[in-house]
Amino acid sequence: MPKVETIRGLERGLQVLKFLHSEPISSLHDIHRATAISKPSLLRILNTLERAGMVARRLADGRYRLSVFTDVVRKRDRYDRVAEAAAPVLAQLCKKVKWPSDLFVPAGNCLERRETTMPHSPFVLPGHDGRIGNRVGWLMTGVGRAYLAWCPEKEREATLRTLRKSGNPEDWLAREPRKLERILGEVRHRGYATRDPSYVAGRYGEMPVDDGAAAIAVALFDGRRVHGSINFRWIRTAFTVEDFAARHLADLQNAAREIVGSLQRPASR
């Protein structure tokens, strides 16, 4: 029986997929070191896999991961899927508006950043830490208030029950239900959320750090559930909240609708 030759390019592509299956979030150097494939060849392989919808690349740090929109991934993280849907939309938003945006999703008693365009924005926000995984509180931030304003009542109450037991100073509003509901009602009426005037930023549960920024945020609401929140941040001395919203709220809302639309489409098979 004649020997059947293999396709070297396909073999290397499968080698990359196998590695990403074992190491879900990897840099180009990580993949190069594990596979011994040259970086120029790896870039061609990864670009091909990305076009085919098998691999996605994070905006925040350029790391590669298996796409959660295919059946290659054995176990899907709901919020990884949201981050992957948000990445290209937020990238286009940053190109248009220039100011950075983040995607935050629930993480128990706080929210976690899953994507950001900070590395792609020409504007620098002093004191800002744009790493994936950073956490912020629910009640003083725009992203938290946007999420709570639009999520189902049962989910909101479950979150607030947790926060009422918290000793974190940021969570005091959970024990002021009338005041909080008034704030969330204003968010719904206005169509977007803002930071509390007393909020200066910093990681949840740690020492506050003034990032010099203001923010507006909207929920990724599909009519039944909320998938996360996205925001714009800018240097607060550059615009008032009202001026910035007048300029760019429609862009943010359109981005939210586009992300939700992507999530509602069935995954590829």
State the pairing for strand pair 193-194/135-136: unpaired
Regarding beta strands 193-194 and 226-235, do their DSSP bridges make them parallel or antiparallel, or are they unpaired?
unpaired
DSSP assignment of 206-228: S------EEEEEEEEE-SS-EEE
Q: What are the angstrom distances between the C-alpha of 84 and each of 60, 76, 91, 169, 219?
A: 12, 12, 11, 33, 16
> What pLDDT shows up at residue 58?
83
Structure tokens at 233: 């941040």
Checking if the pLDDT of 53 tops 80, the result is no
Average pLDDT, the chain: 88
Contacts of 244 (CB under 8 A, 6+ apart): 214, 216, 232, 234
Nearest C-alpha neighbor of 110 from the set 59, 145, 155, 144: 144
Q: How far apart are CA 128 and CA 126, in angstroms?
A: 5
Q: What is the pTM of this model?
A: 0.80
Instruction: Please answer whether residues 228 and 147 qualify as being in contact, where contact means their C-beta atoms are separated by less than 8 angstroms.
Output: yes
Q: Which residue has the higher pLDDT, 146 or 212?
A: 146
pLDDT more than 90, % of the chain: 55
Give 77's pLDDT tier (boundaries 50, 70, 90): low
Residue 159 has which token pair?
């979150």
pLDDT over 70 (residue 72): no
**For 116-147, what is each residue's pLDDT tens digit?**
999 899 988 876 666 888 899 999 999 999 99
pLDDT band at 224, cuts 50/70/90? very high
